[in-house]
Amino acid sequence: MEIVTPIIEAIEQNYIVEAEQILGKLCLDVCDRIENATLSPKDADDYFTLIDLYITDNCKDLELKEEMQNIIFEGMLLHDYGKDYGANLDTLRLLAKKLYSFHRHA
């Protein structure tokens, strides 16, 4: 899936800060697109699942910031968006903004 390629390429090159920034942007875009009904929660879930599968299969020792881990986890719950136990777009936005804030002050 082309949309996750920049994140995977950044991870492959060990550009973790860039991967975090790209993931944060993707997360915010996904939230907006779900709310505007231009992206289904299931399709959005697939993005985060692909990222998780790549990291799990290829980068077992990669240490990610807690916010990045939580974005990926919460993103993989998007298929249940709208249910009590599904992903929460406000939570995803908060996590993405924390990544941005960290990088602006680092």
User: Which helix or strand (DSSP H or E) is residue 66 part of?
Assistant: helix 66-75
Report the predicted TM-score, pTM, of the whole model to 2 decimal places: 0.90
- The pLDDT tens digits for 47-87 are 999 999 999 999 988 888 899 999 999 999 999 999 988 99
Distance between CA atoms of 3 and 104, rounded to whole angstroms? 24
Mean pLDDT, rounded, for 1-14: 93
| pLDDT grade for 102, boundaries at 50, 70 and 90 | low
CA–CA dist 38, 91 (Å, integer): 20
pLDDT of residue 13 exceeding 80? yes
Residue 4 in tokens: 């996750």
Alpha carbon distance 74, 70 (integer Å): 6
For residues 92-105, average pLDDT:
77
Q: Rounded to whole angstroms, how far apart are CA atoms 30 and 36?
A: 10
Map tokens 């998780």 to a residue: 52
User: What pLDDT sits at residue 103?
Assistant: 53
pLDDT in tens, 16-43: 999 999 999 999 999 999 999 999 999 9
